[in-house]
Amino acid sequence: MDKVDSFEKINILVNDIRSLRKGYLTNFFLDKKRHSIWIQKGELFSMSFWGCHFLLHLTDTVNSLFFITATKECLADSLKIFLPMFPKQLVVDIVGDETIVNLKRLFLEHGFNEYETLYRMCRVGIVEYDELSDTRVDFAEKSDCQSILDLLHSFFNPLSEQLPCYEEIMDFISNQCVLVFREGSKICGFIIFEVNGMTLYLRYWFVLPECRDKKIGSKLFNEFLRAGHATRRQLFWVIANNENAIKRYRHYGFNPENLFDYVLVKPAIKC
């Protein structure tokens, strides 16, 4: 494997596949901030085959596999060579509409198992929120970063929910994209979000189990909508079997889109 130490290396891999003029399939969607952090931390690696390049994000908790390939056949041939060379657990996200089922099946045929399914929910239109705010909800401070990271890793699943690292959370905080609900010095809940042009993207919404049924979640969500009041499209990913969350999101006017994220996991090879 080769360490990826610049965006230029990623561009070279992309251009190599495009130059073949045989097609283009990928589950790697460039996020300059996020991927810059991965590169700076030395966590992004590549492995190349004819017609297919793999990118691997390797951390202490999750090994994520990304592909940039010309055709499904090139991907299949490359998986046959690559997978025996990587004995550790691997997670791959297959993202798209219902037409990606065949791509999902390819990974299942190569030893991956279905782990989780998510789909995207969206709301379009003017943002409505309560003008009255709760003073216990405010933007997170940099000193909150470790506490938020600890809560994420205690209550969220790193295999299926693509948890941010410390540096990513600090970047969200610096850009006032983290809201927290405090009772004294205790963080009882938080929302992490992004604003991209006219789109408001909810990343993580959490309330401590012992603090639920106190309307903390709704107070956080109201301030989230206030922060994105100028947007015209609001969206997020939800785990398909999380019926309580889906019911709550529908209450706020969100509806499912025809866009899925199949999370597949290949177990570690036992020696």
pLDDT tens per residue across span 158-180: 999 999 999 999 999 999 999 99
- On whether the pTM is more than 0.85, the answer is yes
Q: What pLDDT is attached to residue 129? A: 86
Q: Give the residue among 267, 271, 263, 266 at the shortest CA–CA distance from 95.
A: 263
Q: Residue 8: which H helix or E strand, with range?
A: helix 7-19
Six-digit token string for 246? 């889906």
Q: Is pLDDT of 85 > 90?
A: yes
Q: Quick check: do 2-118+261-266 and 126-231 share a fold? A: yes
Q: How confident is the model at residue 2 (pLDDT cuts 50, 70, 90)?
A: very high
Q: How far apart are CA 152 and CA 172, in angstroms?
A: 14
* Residue 181 main-chain phi, psi, to 5 deg: -110, 125
To 5 degrees, how large is the angle CA 51–CA 62–CA 202? 95
pLDDT at residue 132 tops 80: no
State the CB neighbour count (10 A cutoff) for residue 210: 8
Distance of CA 35 to the CA centre of its chain: 12
Cα radius of gyration rounded to whole Å, the chain: 20
271 pLDDT more than 80? no
Topology of 126-231 in CATH? Aminopeptidase (3.40.630)
* Of 24, 23, 78, residue with least CA distance to 56: 78
Q: Give the integer Cα–Cα distance in Å for 71 and 24.
A: 7
Residue extents of the structural domains in the chain:
2-118+261-266, 126-231
> Could you tell me the fold of the domain covering 2-118+261-266?
Aminopeptidase (3.40.630)
| Position 50 confidence tier, pLDDT thresholds 50, 70, 90 | very high
Mean pLDDT for the stretch of residues 211-240? 93
Q: Does the pLDDT at position 221 exceed 70?
A: yes
Assign 164 to helix, strand or coil. Answer: coil
What value does the mean pLDDT take over residues 72-76? 96
